Structure 1
Amino acid sequence: MTQSQNARSTRALIRRLEERAEQIAVAMAMRAREVPVYAAYDDDTFLESALQHCRDHVDAFLIVGREARQLLGPELDFVRRQAILRARQGVPLEPLLHVYRMGHIAIHDAIVEAGGSSKAGMTAAIELTKRTMAHIDLITTTYTQSYLEAQHAMAMEAES
């Protein structure tokens, strides 16, 4: 396959994923519930916030996929806000990072499924998966930094 054919196949794969964005977000939220510590948080407000965060992640992933670039500054604010919220709620960081990894598995599964079994589809799925690797590193690093900063700020407030 030529580079042009690969690019067309990747764009077609991204369009299929865009059509299934809500399904992917729900799959991410369901995967998150597999993390026992996280699953213990089951009030409606928490769950709706988590699902919306999954939707935001799918939107961010689609930007990364479509534009073949990483998110920049303000585009990561949704990650920062969620980290601060969960830190204030007292949700431990380790299971939250596990939830992020589970969400990435859900995205990967969606990529593979949408890619299908054709050579072009599989090649596009591999290309898109490569794009997501740096993305998951960036968002988990951003999340961790924001969470720890929020914890530090809360500790400083408690001391004063």
Structure 2
Amino acid sequence: MYVAVVGNALHALRTRLSDPTNVLQSWDPTLVNPCTWFHVTCDSNNRVVRLDLGNANISGTLGPELGELKHLQYLELYRNNIGGRIPKELGNLEKLVSMDLYGNKFRGKIPKSFANLKSISDVSNNDLCGTIPVDGPFGIFPMDSFRNNRLNGPELKGLVPYDFGC
């Protein structure tokens, strides 16, 4: 059951992305196990733990299906042309320890559900706006992780939070 759910989630991601250099050509939904796909790493129990699509020349948007990757530890999507809003369902990935989303075209607010994550490496160089949540893990991250966005919040503006209202 898990393999089918994860395979469907990854296939849904593939359909949302434009892939001019065919880095996702091995993502064949007819293959039973997505652990055989390039850029997908699984643990010894065939659970997807890493998705590595950094600097892959892909564009498009992310969808809520990524929230189905319950064992995901590393999400690498940096330096692409992925846009739109970051799905709030990424905040459900409780095992996530590293997420690199920098250098894309994401816009909108950082989902409040990100406060559930243990680590978020970098969302710099996007078009995110709003207030950085002070609860959860955000207090331990250096502000460089958020640079070159339109963010605001107590960490950036003293103790007076301001919301740009994206």
Q: Do both proteins adopt the same fold according to a TM-score greater than 0.5, normalized to the shorter chain?
A: no
Higher strand fraction: Structure 1 or Structure 2?
2
| TM-score (ref. length: structure 2) | 0.28
* Structure of greater relative contact order (alpha carbons < 8 Å, 6+ residues apart): 1
| TM-score (ref. length: structure 1) | 0.29
